[in-house]
Amino acid sequence: MGPPTGRRGAPPGYPPVSLGVAHPTPYFLAGAFVDENFRFNITQWRAVVEDFTSPPGADITVILDPAFTSNNTSDKSALVASFKVERDDGVRELNILDTESERWKGGALADSAIDFCVKWNPAALKIERIPGVDILIDLILDKCRARSITAPHIEAFTPNCQKSAKNHRILKLQTLWCSSPPAIRIRYGHYIGPLFEEVEAFVPSRQNRGRQINTLDALALACGFR
214 touches 75 (CB < 8 A): yes
Distance CA 124, CA 156 (A): 10
CB neighbours of residue 4 within 10 Å: 16
Distance CA 191, CA 211 (A): 19
Q: Would you state the pLDDT for residue 3?
A: 34
85 touches 92 (CB < 8 A): yes
* Low-confidence stretches of the chain (pLDDT beneath 50): 1-34, 208
Beta-sheet strand order (sheet of 92-102): 49-50, 184-187, 92-102, 77-86, 61-65, 124-128, 154-157
Distance CA 8, CA 17 (A): 12
Q: What domains can you pick out in the chain, each with its CATH number? A: 37-223 (3.30.420.240)
Residue type, 30: A
Q: Would you state the pLDDT for residue 166?
A: 82
Residue type, 42: I
Q: Would you state the pLDDT for residue 157?
A: 92
Q: Would you state the pLDDT for residue 24?
A: 43
pTM: 0.81
